[in-house]
Structure 1
Amino acid sequence: MIRLIFILFFAGIVFSGYGTSKNEVLTGRVFLDENKNGIHDNPEPGISGICVSNGNEVVQTDAAGNWELPVENANSIFVIKPSNYAVSLNPENIPQHFHLLHEGNQTSIDFPLYPAEEENKFSVLFFGDTQARGLREVNFILHDVVEECMGTNAAFGVSLGDIVADDPGLFAEVSQGIGQIGIPWYNIFGNHDHDRDEKRNENKGKTFSKFFGPATYAFEYGQVAFIGLNNVFFNETGKYHAHLSDDQLSFVENYLSFVPEEKLVVLMMHIPLVRIDTRDRLYEILQNRKHTFSISGHVHEQIQVFVDEEMGWKGNEPHHHLINATVCGSWWCGLNDETGIPHATMNDGAPNGYSIVIFEGNDYSVRFKAARRPADYQMNIYLPDELAQNELDTTNVLVNVFAGSSRSKVEMRIGKTGKWIPMQQVKTIDPECLRMHQLSPVLDKEFEGQALDDVLGYKMDYPSVSTHMWQGKLPDELRAGTHSVTVRTTDMFNQTWTGHRIFRVKNENWKK
């Protein structure tokens, strides 16, 4: 993708306040920037049929590339990048598809686009909740996930909110670090990304917008329309809940009126879809489309949600919503490893990490990637190292399939030639996550005058009941000796993963 350094603060678009004067109208042009200087020079042609929005209304450019929009109560104007075009990137690889509005008399804004060949099949990195508290945790992000993503063939990446932990002053350090991956990077607003000193909801995202642009926007790539939504609403007491405003819902509806039915529509947000108080209106806008998918963060667990009629969805098939794995796991908690990075296990027992979503036409598949672990590390198997023969009929094999769902098939076999035994999905706490949590009281103590949480890591929350656990019974006729159990899982995308665990069976007279 063509890079163009395009810094807002030195381009005359200085952010100095939200909103514009009443009844103001802005005009401009979307043009093919043939000399790549970010300026509309004659005779560079305008581009017709490109969507431009003020966050509510959406218009398409005319034959000459011209557009016109009202901007009363608008904070920004942005172009919706179409497929096979690119926008300029700043030094942190953040797309510059927007202009922030200020109180003044600016009446014309031009958007440059550049031709860019896009494959029908492409992948996207999705980071949930990097949530850095200080530079120490910024470094965790960089060493735990960013470094392994460098050299990726992904088309772009997305951070799904809670980029920082109540300190927007760290946006620069996090963005500069993630920018080293070397691909365009979009960002979603999270509840910990707000300006704490601002009381009004509409002002909570000022710093976010300075760095990343509007918190609600859209762009297209291949046969996919991506819509970023800020669904965090703060009241005057500082409390927040999941909400989409009338303007945001109108934006989604207005934009989708220009999106062909055969395209896949992907909604990206911070708080899960099912928590939005205005979700019924959103469902009405989406439910007649055959190709939809949505993704969020916030929960610090990985959950596959199939939104059906009982949840208010009226479409013919349930809508798939992925609550994405978090980069920070459970807030960078727990014991540090040999590199000084906490294990950061999520509350459901899955390791911290991120998702790789592969899009092909209007179809998609999701693959979980654990931080700094092999790509095929997709489960933990729990079984005692040793057990007596008379314990076989009361011992379960328990497995945490990190990205598993109700649509996963999970089965096990003993040895290399045993028959495959179906495993049953259960709702329970991951036992290793619980064991790690039980170490937390140690962290209340001191070591040579220093709090142990400074030495060993933050204490963990109590584990949650995981949505991706399965169990199965061992055969009760196993002879004494060493055995292996293999677990095989096939997910909703027909991806198959296996894991192994070796254990020993003692005769009935054996004593532990």
Structure 2
Amino acid sequence: MQKRVLILVVSFCTLIGFGQVSQSLSGTVFVDVNQNNYKDTDEVGLFNVLISNGKDVVKTDAKGHYKIAKIEGNTVFVIKPESYMFRLNKQKTVQFFVPFDTIQTVKTYDFALYPHQENKPTKSVLLGDTQVDVIDDVHHVGKLVTEELMDKEIDFIVPLGDLSFDNVSIFDPLSQTLGLIGVPIFYTIGNHDLNFTEKAFMDRDKSFEAIFGPSYYAFEYGKQLHIVLNNIYPLETKGYEGRLDAMQLTFLRNLIALEKEKFESVTVYMHIPLEEMKDKEELITLVKPFENVFVAAGHTHTQYHNYFERNNQKPIHQLVAGAVCGSWWQGPHDIDQIPFALMYDGTPKGYWELIFDHQQYDFKYKVSGAAHDKQMNITVPNTKEWDKSLNIFNDNFIYANVFAADETTQVDIRFDNGKWMAMRKYEDVAPEIQKLYHLQSLGKFSNESMAKFPKPTTISHHLWRIEKPVDLLPGAHSVRIKASANKINLDVHGNAVLWIDK
């Protein structure tokens, strides 16, 4: 009897053991010298590469081997190591993960990497909300982003979520269009990218993952760690709040524990800005091991800088990077049928260029379709005789909307060849968006097929003004404005003409 029981116990344990093996994934991370995506006999494995299942993080051994548990609803991915790159698909999405339609059935999976020169300084492009819904919007992105960035020297691109407007079927056309730029793209998920019809929490991001891969992950590039987060926590129906789920927090803790000795700097990409997250303080605490922390976010359809103080450490610098779509593709159209769609703070549509070198960040906002030196809108009193629609906005002030400015920015103005004078920060709705809304209210665009602007109420965080000098003689006068901020290496200029009536 005892022997029979022992046999049953051994058999049961063996079954459990096999069950555990079938619920794990193993393989090799190797240097794919000939880039055929297959491990040839003379190709070697990579030591100390990090692998994750979205919760646990393990290292490859001396021969590049790994083994990790599978988690229902998750895939397995590699944290791209410094100076290596994965294969890119046709849309230039980085293939650092096991495809979601494969992970449930495979027991082994090898990851092919190839040497990749990671230039110093590193140049990336940040894309705020593209918010595409119909194919027209995809064409807009092609014109505003893809055509401008084709063949440019860029290391990688990071879209910051809200790729779509609740239309997950548009992911593929969008990825094809952005893929034509020809550089690696690391995607971030936004609240409008979720499957809200799915009841299971783990299925809310499955359409995103089918095209772009895991909705949170990390990668190394140059001498810096990059972390992409999914900070959209779904609630009932289409509700959500900004916070990280428990499994993602565990992944972050495990990742940082292994990477904190290797890197002094980390860049965090997420959709909802840090100040709107329920667990903001927990995230700030998690990144404490890093001396330099930069956060890039989208979501607000405005742009601004924030600084979060830390005890005896450099503040966390956050850039809220506006929106490629401006204000949801709203307003009248130009000759290419692209909506003017100023952002809610008056910023024209565009994207950010980010350069990182030796703990130093350089930022520059690029207005799509404009020269690189287009860095501000200047509004002056301008009385018209023919079309008097906007004469009601003439006042005694000159306004400067400096797109990339932060709270430390100094803005100065001079008239003709006079002395430079400081302009005052002005917290109000940007004059350019007030004018556009007024023209809409007058029915100026009533014959166009367009989405209308809502009444503007958003306060711009980068608006300055000064009273018009009373001693200017009648006639034309030059207006020159300069804006500078050492903290973000900002040094920009703008010109305007001011006409003084008799």
The offset of 1:317, in angstroms, is 3.0
Kept after mapping to 1: 8 A contact 2:266/2:293:
yes
Matched-pair identity in %: 33
User: Equivalent residue for 1:297?
Assistant: 298
User: Equivalent residue for 1:499?
Assistant: 494
Distance 1:327 1:47 in 2: 39
Query: Secondary structure of 1:148's match?
Result: helix
Report Cα offsets for 1:300-325 as digits up to 9, x if no partner: 001111123xxxx5563321111112
The offset of 1:382, in angstroms, is 1.2
Unmatched 5+ residue regions in structure 2?
A: 1-18, 385-394
TM-score by length of 1: 0.87
Distance 1:204 1:443 in 2: 41
Distance 1:494 1:234 in 2: 38
Query: Secondary structure of 2:464's match?
Result: strand
Give the AA of the match of 1:289: F
User: Equivalent residue for 1:40?
Assistant: 39
Kept after mapping to 1: 8 A contact 2:224/2:263:
no
The offset of 1:21, in angstroms, is 8.2
User: Equivalent residue for 1:471?
Assistant: 465
Distance 2:319 2:21 in 1: 40
Distance 2:40 2:21 in 1: 31
Query: Secondary structure of 2:110's match?
Result: strand
The offset of 1:73, in angstroms, is 3.5
Q: Quickly say closer, same or farther: Cα 1:22–1:459, change in 2 above 3 A.
A: farther
User: Equivalent residue for 2:406?
Assistant: 405
Distance 1:35 1:288 in 2: 38
Distance 1:186 1:439 in 2: 39
Kept after mapping to 2: 8 A contact 1:200/1:234:
no
The offset of 1:23, in angstroms, is 8.9
Give the AA of the match of 1:459: K
Distance 1:283 1:441 in 2: 44
Kept after mapping to 2: 8 A contact 1:33/1:112:
yes
User: Equivalent residue for 1:83?
Assistant: 82
User: Equivalent residue for 2:10?
Assistant: none
Report Cα offsets for 1:136-195 as digits up to 9, x if no partner: 111111112211111110101011111111111111111111111111111111111122
Give the AA of the match of 2:267: V
Runs of 4 or more above 6 Å deviation: 20-23
Kept after mapping to 1: 8 A contact 2:365/2:375:
yes
The offset of 1:82, in angstroms, is 1.1
Give the AA of the match of 1:476: V
Correspondence list, 1:47-58, <5 A? 47-58=46-57
Distance 2:464 2:22 in 1: 59
Q: Quickly say closer, same or farther: Cα 1:442–1:134, change in 2 above 3 A.
A: farther
Give the AA of the match of 1:215: S
Query: Secondary structure of 1:274's match?
Result: helix
Q: Quickly say closer, same or farther: Cα 1:61–1:475, change in 2 above 3 A.
A: same
Report Cα offsets for 1:57-90 as digits up to 9, x if no partner: 1111111111122223351111111111110000
User: Equivalent residue for 1:480?
Assistant: 474
Kept after mapping to 2: 8 A contact 1:283/1:314:
no
Query: Secondary structure of 2:109's match?
Result: strand
Give the AA of the match of 1:420: W
User: Equivalent residue for 1:371?
Assistant: 368
Report Cα offsets for 1:326-352 as digits up to 9, x if no partner: 110000111111221111100000001
Deviates more, 1:125-134 or 1:188-197: 188-197
Is 2:123 the partner of 1:123?
A: yes
The offset of 1:44, in angstroms, is 1.5
Query: Secondary structure of 2:461's match?
Result: strand
Report Cα offsets for 1:242-278 as digits up to 9, x if no partner: 1101221222222122323653200001111111112
- Give the total of aligned pairs: 470
Deviates more, 1:373-382 or 1:434-443: 434-443
TM-score by length of 2: 0.89
Distance 2:20 2:380 in 1: 67
Deviates more, 1:261-270 or 1:156-165: 261-270
Is 2:358 the partner of 1:361?
A: yes
User: Equivalent residue for 2:423?
Assistant: 423
Kept after mapping to 1: 8 A contact 2:128/2:297:
yes
Q: Quickly say closer, same or farther: Cα 1:64–1:296, change in 2 above 3 A.
A: same
Kept after mapping to 1: 8 A contact 2:84/2:114:
yes
Give the AA of the match of 2:301: H
Distance 2:421 2:238 in 1: 52
Distance 1:295 1:503 in 2: 37
Kept after mapping to 2: 8 A contact 1:40/1:112:
yes
